Amino acid sequence: MVAAIVNNVGGFFQHFVDRLFQLIKEKKMTETDVIIHIEEANFESTIQSGLVLIDFSAEWCGPCRALAPVLEEVATKMQGKVVVGKVDIDEAQATTAKYQVTSVPTLILFKDGSEADRSVGLRDADSLETWINNHM
């Protein structure tokens, strides 16, 4: 009897985890208008002109999820001044390796195609905005 209960609980838990990851993927696929999803195919063309902030992150990364609303706030506030994009390190492994991203979240600020600066870890909206403004 106990084994049957454990199996039912285990099955429920697995279903819950599977559904949670499905919802996370769906959220990632419907990025806001102010943050673009960047893949290997469009990375280089995205960073070529102007000021572009790229968030190298992963779905499984807690600090990356914590940074997401901060990025959205900054992207909304600075719309027209900087393009903000996200790269999933698990999907874009070649780009991640090319830019030597070894920790997430890593923010790389590009100016006209060249890396201007980078930041690893969480930042608050004010410090992120100041950091970006220092490169304008």
Active site residues: 61, 64
Contact 110, 52 (CB under 8 A): yes
Integer Rg of the chain from CA: 18
Q: If DSSP codes are grouped into helix, strand and coil, which group holds residue 11?
A: helix
Angle between helices 125-133 and 62-77 (to 10 degrees): 60
